[in-house]
Amino acid sequence: MTDAAGYGLDHLPYGVFSTPERDPRVGVRFEDSVLDLAAATGRPEFAQPSLNAFIALGADEWAETRAALPALIETGAHRHPLDEVTLHLPIEVGDYVDFYASEQHASNVGRMFRPDQEPLLPNWKHLPVGYHGRSGTVVASGTDIIRPCGQRKAPTEDAPSYGPSRRLDIEAELGFVVGVGTKLGERVSTGAFKDHTFGVVGLNDWSARDIQAWEYVPLGPFLGKSFATSISNWITPLAALDNAWTDLPGQDPEPLDYLAVGERAGLDITVEVVLNGVVVSRPPYASMYWAPAQMLAHTTVNGASVRTGDLWGSGTISGSEPDQRGSFLELSWGGKEPFLVDGVERTFLEDGDEVTLRYTARGTSGGTITLGEVTGRILPAT
């Protein structure tokens, strides 16, 4: 069942949909219907199979269009029932960068893999750590995920072997979509974050932990991450999150000047991790150490350009409590402490498992908005 109440006039997320009679085009969700913006406005940027042409127009155009939506919806014209449309990937993804912005997640991973060292590496509290991912394998919610194959070597094994991942995992994240790009050599300050960022999506960074553990030293994630990243069909515009901004939990030491942010630089968004219909975790995005504006500023501080449709992930969202961990790696503490799902002990993903990530936040009218959820089902390796 869909939560129509979370998709009222204070939300109005954008997506791409098609019908048997119409090719993919841009729409806006209102309750359990989709408004066909191409038909309602006649604007050519909405008669496209992605949002890129529209979001490239910039913040003034985003605001004007959003202000006009309630009147278009009120007419009742050009609206399609949600259950009669097909949803698609909402953007043509340019580049994809994934960060590591949760102190709790980074500390948990450090304790598991470096038990005799400090959980956080020396650079972690000085800059938002990230890696460049693979944009071509970003897929829309509802896409099945084929279990990846690759090299893996357990600590007890003498040599690596090839085969399906034995430790397939999720990472509950929030994704951010670039609307207005930059030129090579141009930097985006933390204060210019909203000028360049169109909105947010739910994001699941599927991870093959055994492949990742064997390959990641010394250059970081590669095949353990690049096989698939799922995002929601709906992009929530930043304007819908005006009431969700909150203070960061605190940064010590104080970041360098180019990473400086003021109050209300974090987001209060609640996440639910659902495995086969059972909620197994509720990670709070408000606990994230690094702010979205700091991630974008750090991405461009060396002069690297960003493009319309670029996507960056927050990294796994994990809170301080065991039931707030955003990955099965943490929930099962590396597979050593299984967690229960309907009385059954679980560690990593099994073939046939379905995972859904759900997101809610405070809306501008004082209620709760429901961000686009992300679902994926695991198929056997081929």
pLDDT more than 90, % of the chain: 97
What was the pLDDT predicted at 133? 96
Residue 199 has pLDDT above 90, yes or no: yes
Which residue, 147, 157, 167, is CA-closest to 211? Answer: 167
Out of 109-113, 203-207, 293-297, which region has the weakest mean confidence (pLDDT)? 109-113
pLDDT at 188 over 90: yes
Give pLDDT tens digits for 19-50.
999 999 999 999 999 999 999 999 999 999 99
Give the confidence band of 5 by pLDDT, cuts at 50, 70, 90.
Answer: confident
Is the pLDDT confidence value at 316 over 60? yes
The pLDDT, as a whole number, for residue 144 is 98
pLDDT at 57: 98
pLDDT for 209 = 97
pLDDT confidence band for 216 (50 / 70 / 90): very high
- Domains present along the chain, CATH in parentheses: 4-88 (2.30.30.230), 96-379 (3.90.850.10)
Mean pLDDT of 117-129: 97
Confidence band (pLDDT; 50, 70, 90) for 4?
A: confident
The residue-averaged pLDDT of 179-184 equals 98
Residue 322 has pLDDT above 60, yes or no: yes
Can you give the pLDDT at residue 269? 98
pLDDT in tens, 105-116: 999 999 998 899
Residue with tokens 């191409």: 38
- pLDDT tier at 336, thresholds 50, 70, 90: very high
Using only C-alpha atoms, the chain has a radius of gyration, in whole angstroms, of 20
- Of 11, 78, 80, 105, the active-site residue reads 105
* pLDDT at residue 119 greater than cutoff 80: yes
Q: What is the pLDDT of residue 1?
A: 37
pLDDT of 240 strictly over 70: yes
Looking at residues 265-278, what average pLDDT do you find?
A: 98
105 given a catalytic annotation: yes
How confident is the model over 74-79, as a mean pLDDT?
97
Above 60 in pLDDT, residue 2? Answer: no
